[in-house]
Structure 1
Amino acid sequence: MASDGDDKVVLLNTYVSMFAMRPKMALALKGIPYESKVEDLGNKSSLLLEMNPVHKKIPVLIHNRKPVCESLIILEYIDEVWKDKFPLLPSDPYKRAQARFWADFIDKKIFECIGAWLFKKKDAKDIKEELVEKLKVLEGELGEEAYYGGEKIGFLDLVLVSYYTWLLAFEKDAEFSVEAEVPKLSEWAKRCLQNESVSTSLADPLKLYEFTLQLWERLGRGGGAYN
């Protein structure tokens, strides 16, 4: 994999975004070198606006000077292009479909809770019960497996573990413990974090909480949007 020329890989991202953490993990697991360009979402770069003119959001993977947008699509693209290096999606079509189903569930249901808390649409205590209920559904789907990918980390593990660091930030604002509420899921997350490609790609929960406090200050602890 060349690091320049037509095969250069660039990732437009931000440190705090769970969605940007996903391609970081995937590229690291596959050993693909890339250039990280951190975006200031309050002052979006001309490159971001050019590469993602529709949504104007990160992450954006630029490969062969062509952009790929939306984190789940980026994960699948990375897996298809570098398919011989640490496969992420199952080879079985049904298992692939199931992985996509649960990824969609996570991005709709878990983000709904975290987003409502982050943008102060609801208080943490009002979100906690709903969040735990959804996490228990995901814990049930894990079953007795070590990972959602089976015996090794896969596509769905990357999708969900990107939220784990945000769940730890949420703990600091709520009477909530991931380990107490969903112990099996907590053990799964700890196994994921033993992988250096995962642990080094995720944001520090303390820094995420600091970001959250700063965001609330800017928003006056009311509503708003930051995308």
Structure 2
Amino acid sequence: MSFENAPTSLSLSKLQRNLVFRLWKLKGEEQQAAKKEMIDILQLLEAQLGDKKYFGGDSFGFVDVAFVPFTSWFYSYETCANFSVEGVAPKIAQWAKRCMERESAAKTLSDPKKVYEFVCFLKKKFGVE
């Protein structure tokens, strides 16, 4: 897959772009601060999820639909910032797996490895290594 003509912003929200780019562009203390921010966000979401199957309870709903696209980026977050979503937010990791069992999510979400390839392309394009 070639990313040469792909838009660099894709459809990421401003918050996600800022945080994602900080995770893979920065090094040292700055990257650690971005990593901590990402972990804090995941843990906040996990607290909201609690023991429910989905954010709205037993039914896949609006919040799930809004958040599930971010799961395609988990592998990139983990690889670039050296942490495990399952390790810091196990309920979110299980929720993501549950969502991927839904045909609607599985068919529409980007493959995490392809997202990481795109991140690597961006790193190379912008001289971040």
Identical-residue share of aligned pairs (%)? 33
RMSD: 2.6
* Paired residue secondary structure (1:203): coil
Unmatched segments (≥5 aa) in structure 1: 1-15, 17-38, 43-56, 60-70, 72-106, 223-227
Displacement after TM superposition at 1:108 (Å):
6.0
Q: Report the TM-score when normalising by structure 1.
A: 0.48
2:7 corresponds to which of 41, 44, 63: 41
2:114 corresponds to which of 192, 199, 207: 207
Distance 1:221 1:174, change over 3 A: same
In the TM superposition, structure 1's runs of 4+ consecutive aligned residues that sit over 4 Å from their partners are 107-111
Asked if the contact 1:165/1:204 (under 8 Å) is kept, the reply is yes
Decide which structure has greater helix share: 2
For each residue in 1:125-173, what CA deviation from the matched residue of structure 2 results, as whole angstroms up to 9, or x when unmatched?
Answer: 3421111011111111112211013212111112111111102222112
Decide which structure has greater strand share: 1
Displacement after TM superposition at 1:58 (Å):
6.3
Displacement after TM superposition at 1:203 (Å):
0.8
Summarize the alignment of residues 4-23 of structure 1 with structure 2, pairs less than 5 Å apart: none
2:34 equivalent to 1:115: no
Residue matched to 1:145: 52
Distance 1:197 1:187, change over 3 A: same
Residue matched to 2:67: 160
Distance 1:204 1:151, change over 3 A: same
For each residue in 1:169-212, what CA deviation from the matched residue of structure 2 results, as whole angstroms up to 9, or x when unmatched?
Answer: 22112220000100011111111011011012111111111111
Distance 1:220 1:108, change over 3 A: closer
1:125 corresponds to which of 17, 32, 42: 32
Asked if the contact 1:147/1:154 (under 8 Å) is kept, the reply is yes
Q: Report the TM-score when normalising by structure 2.
A: 0.80
Distance 1:115 1:182, change over 3 A: same
Q: Count the aligned residue pairs.
A: 123
2:89 equivalent to 1:172: no
Displacement after TM superposition at 1:41 (Å):
2.7
State the structure with bigger RCO (CA 8 A, min sep 6), 1 or 2. 2
